[in-house]
Amino acid sequence: MEAALAHEGPPVSLRAMAQRVSLASRTLRYYEPELCQHIVDRYVAYRTQRRDHMHHVLEHATQEDPPPSLVSLPVGHKYSFRENRGA
């Protein structure tokens, strides 16, 4: 679990972490409450940042005439809200 916190990519949820180690999330919370809280806090901050970014992207995109189709935008475009998850 500590390796997941050090991972550079997008953070994972506690549920996803529990699935990776084949345990229930409540079991992880019982044995490692502080580490689990750190995982949860990091994931919540990530989701909040992504939501705020998407809100910003959509606000700016709707001001264009005509607004771009978000599906047609490539990953990395200034209005893209999709991530490049790598191969």
The pLDDT of residue 87 is 41
Q: 46: domain range?
A: 2-72
pTM of the model as a whole: 0.69
22 pLDDT above the threshold of 70: yes
The Cβ of residue 18 has, within 10 Å, a number of other Cβ atoms equal to 20
Mean predicted lDDT score pLDDT of the chain: 81
The pLDDT of residue 86 is 46
> Is 45 inside a domain boundary?
yes
The pLDDT of residue 54 is 82
> Is 79 inside a domain boundary?
no
DSSP labels, 7-48: -SSPPPPHHHHHHHTTS-HHHHHHH-HHHHHHHHHHHHHHHH
85/30: higher pLDDT:
30
If one counts the domains in the chain, the total is: 1
- Least confidently predicted of 28-37, 45-54, 75-84: 75-84
The pLDDT of residue 28 is 94
